[in-house]
Each structure stands twice: as structure tokens, then as C-alpha cells.
């Protein structure tokens, strides 16, 4: 409910002065409604199995494609900083039509999950992106039918096997991001059948077909030609995002996600109010790149913009924020 404004506030000399609560930093700190803590942040990372040293991503200044060795350093640092988790994305040497590298226990992502888990144990929540786009030669999130459309149900079978492979590698959390209908249900079923009843599903529920994923496509050397509008959501739709989140909770999602974050804060708030599980938001590559580019030009205060981005996402309802700034933000927050 909105506070009622009494007629007193209309007299010529203000009697009600909200500025009183803004007079000093301790006062502002006292009445602050929202905070960001390192434990709420998840660091997305990329590992490329063909590299012998980390490779900068041009459109994401400060972010690299990792080698296995540098990945483990980043994971240990994330644990030391008290971050909530790390989200792993793999860039394989070889891609094919069905994304078979995703199922190979020695494929880049499964190997990364295993090594990170060995390095950090239970000090950090280890999450794996569960999607085929990095592994397919056509760059789509699923397998294609003869006429080139993404085959929902054939893709589900692969997702189920991929979830089990990631769980076997040691993932605490699998994060289906492909926007196939029914993906959470088949993944839960497959994990349970394989005995992985404690592996968490973080569902990318309200995932929009967004221009703000542009830099990510560089980050994973995406081969996509075209767009994902037949499976990712139309940016114009909010109700549909809530429906997707409710469906995923019904199918067994332990947490749901809204993505991107900054342009979808209304969806985030509505999802937060509609579900009774933790809600995550993904502060995506394009949101990162815009702030970095503006800051590099001296057009914006970089650190202030980073913290304001994160507090806005938290204020809108995110319990968990995935952000490429996670490690830096944790350092800034500790002062
Ligand atoms: C799909 C996936 C994407 C992102 C995360 N998972 C790309 C897409 O859906 O096109 C984007 C993340 C970002 O832009 O930071 N595996």
C-alpha cells in the first residue's frame, strides 16, 4: 500500500520533510531498505578448452575466456570472497548438430564442473548452464528438425542426459536456459531416477529474446545465425513471464530466474510476488558492456553505476543476482 499523504504536506512551509532521513550517511544507512551482499552474487564464467592462456573478450572488457587453470583460480577467489556461487559456461573445441560435447564426461563443461568442484568443494555453490547453444554447430539451444526449427521434445531428451552428466561431474545446481517447454520436469525426473535428488534446478524461467545478450555471443564463440524468437520470450510480454515461472515451479524448479535484469525489473517484481521459491536475476553481458563502455569514455562513474545496477535488481525482487561484476562488487562492498 502507498503511504497516505495528509493535507499537512500541502501547507506552504513543509511540515513533513522526508529529507530529514537523508541528512547523513549513518542516517541513510539506518533507513536503507535494501542491501547487496556477496553471498547473493553469482559469478558467470567461461572456459575454453582450446586455450593455453586466458583470452580477453573484446565486447566485455575485464572478462575473459578461461583456461582450466585460470578458471580454478577464479573459482577459489570467488569462494574466498564469500560469493554465493559460480555459473559455468563451456566453449568446446568441436561443435556438431546435436551438441554431443554436452554429454561427454570429458567435454569442456563437465570437466570444468568436476575440476571446480574438486577445487572448492562445498565452499561455493557450483552451477552449470544447461543448454545446447555452446555445443551446436548451428548455435541454437536445441536440436533441429528437417525444416530447421528447434525440436522441443527431441531436445528434452538431451537436456535430461545433460543434467545427469552435470550432476555426475559434481554440479550443485543445474540451470536450464534453453526455454524448451517441459524442460524442468524432464530434468527433475532424470536427476531423481539417477539418484541426484539433492541437485538443485535453477530454471531460467522468464528468459527474453534480448539484444542485450550480444556480447555473450562473442564470449562463447556462438555460431548462431538468426535469432531465438521461437523459444525465448517476446520482450513485450510480462504476464507470459509470470506464467513461465509458475509452470517451472510446478514442474519442480527450486529457484527461478528472470533474464535480462535491468530492462525487466517489472517482470522481476511480479515474479517475486507470484512464486514462493528464491528468485534470481541475470545482469547480462549487454548490461555489463554498456556500463563498461560508458565508464571507459568517462561518461559515467563506473563503481557507482555497478553498485546502483545491483541494488536496483535487488530492490525489484531478486534474491540472487548473476553478474560479471560479482567478484569486484564483493570487494567494493567490503570496502
Ligand atoms: C544460453 C545463454 C545465453 C546467456 C546465458 N545463457 C545466451 C542466449 O540465450 O542467447 C546470455 C548471458 C549474457 O548475455 O550475459 N546458454
Distance in angstroms (rounded) separating the CA atoms of residues 323 and 287: 10
> Which residue's C-alpha cell is 506552504?
12
**pLDDT on residue 5:** 65
Q: Which atom of ligand 1 is nearest to the CA of 232?
A: 9
Determine the residue of 57, 88, 101, 133 to mutate for testing ligand 1's pocket, defined as the one with the most ligand atoms within 8 A of the Cβ atom: 133
Nearest CA to ligand 1 atom 6: 177
Is ligand 1 within 6 A of the CB of residue 159? Answer: no
Evaluate the omega torsion of the peptide bond into residue 205 and state whether it is cis, within 30 degrees of 0.
no
Please tell me the distance between residue 17's alpha carbon and the centre of ligand 1 in angstroms. 45
**pLDDT on residue 169:** 98
**pLDDT on residue 310:** 98
Q: Which of 127, 157, 134 is nearest to 45 (CA)?
A: 127
What pLDDT tens digit does each residue of the chain (335 aa) get? 676 666 665 667 889 999 999 999 999 999 999 999 999 999 999 999 999 999 999 999 999 999 999 999 999 999 999 999 999 999 999 999 999 999 999 999 999 999 999 999 999 999 999 999 999 999 999 999 999 999 999 999 999 999 999 999 999 999 999 999 999 999 999 999 999 999 999 999 999 999 999 999 888 888 888 899 999 999 999 999 999 999 999 999 999 999 999 999 999 999 999 999 999 999 999 999 999 999 999 999 999 999 999 999 999 999 999 999 999 999 999 98
Distance in angstroms (rounded) separating the CA atoms of residues 62 and 219: 12
Is ligand 1 within 6 A of the CB of residue 222? Answer: no
C-alpha pair distances (Å), 222 with each of 38, 110, 175, 215, 294: 30, 19, 19, 10, 25
Q: What's the topology of domain 36-334?
A: TIM Barrel (3.20.20)
> Which residue's C-alpha cell is 533507513?
31
Q: Which of 297, 191, 296 is nearest to 252 (CA)?
A: 191
How many CA atoms are closer than 13 Å to the CA of 190, on its beta-carbon side? 21
ipTM: 0.96
**pLDDT on residue 1:** 66
Amino acid at each position: 500500500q502507498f503511504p497516505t499523504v495528509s493535507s499537512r504536506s500541502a501547507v506552504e512551509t513543509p511540515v513533513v520533510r522526508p529529507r530529514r532521513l537523508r541528512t547523513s550517511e549513518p542516517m541513510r544507512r539506518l533507513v536503507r531498505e535494501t542491501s547487496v551482499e556477496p553471498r547473493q552474487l553469482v559469478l558467470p564464467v567461461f572456459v575454453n578448452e582450446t586455450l593455453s592462456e586466458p583470452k580477453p573478450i573484446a565486447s566485455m572488457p575485464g572478462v575473459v575466456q578461461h583456461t582450466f587453470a585460470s578458471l580454478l583460480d577464479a573459482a577459489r577467489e570467488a569462494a574466498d570472497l564469500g560469493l554465493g556461487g559460480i555459473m559455468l559456461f563451456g566453449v568446446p573445441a568441436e561443435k556438431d548438430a546435436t551438441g554431443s560435447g554436452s554429454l561427454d564426461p570429458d567435454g569442456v563443461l563437465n570437466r570444468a564442473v568436476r575440476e571446480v568442484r574438486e577445487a572448492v568443494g562445498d565452499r561455493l555453490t557450483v552451477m552449470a548452464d544447461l543448454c545446447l547453444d555452446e555445443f551446436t554447430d548451428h548455435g541454437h539451444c536445441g536440436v533441429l528438425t528437417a525444416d530447421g526449427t528447434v525440436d522441443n521434445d527431441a531436445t528434452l531428451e538431451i537436456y535430461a542426459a545433460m543434467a545427469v552428466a552435470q550432476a555426475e561431474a559434481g554440479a550443485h545446481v543445474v540451470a536450464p536456459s534453453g526455454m524448451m517447454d517441459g524442460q524442468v520436469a524432464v530434468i527433475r525426473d532424470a536427476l531423481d531416477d539417477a539418484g541426484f535428488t539433492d541437485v538443485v534446478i535453477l530454471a531460467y524461467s522468464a528468459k527474453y529474446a534480448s539484444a542485450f545478450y550480444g556480447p555473450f555471443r562473442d564470449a562463447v564463440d556462438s555460431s548462431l545465425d538468426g535469432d531465438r524468437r521461437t523459444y525465448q520470450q517476446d520482450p513485450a510480454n510480462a504476464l507470459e513471464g509470470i506464467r513461465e515461472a509458475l509452470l517451472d515451479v510446478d514442474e519442480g524448479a527450486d529457484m527461478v530466474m528472470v533474464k535480462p535484469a535491468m530492462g525487466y525489473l517489472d517482470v522481476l517484481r511480479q515474479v517475486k510476488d507470484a512464486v514462493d521459491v528464491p528468485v534470481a536475476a541475470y545482469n547480462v553481458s549487454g548490461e555489463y558492456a554498456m556500463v563498461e563502455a560508458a565508464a571507459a569514455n568517462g561518461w559515467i562513474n563506473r563503481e557507482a553505476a555497478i553498485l546502483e545496477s545491483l541494488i536496483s535488481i535487488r530492490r525489484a525482487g531478486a534474491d540472487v543476482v548473476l553478474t560479471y561484476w560479482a567478484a569486484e562488487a564483493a570487494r567494493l562492498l567490503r570496502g
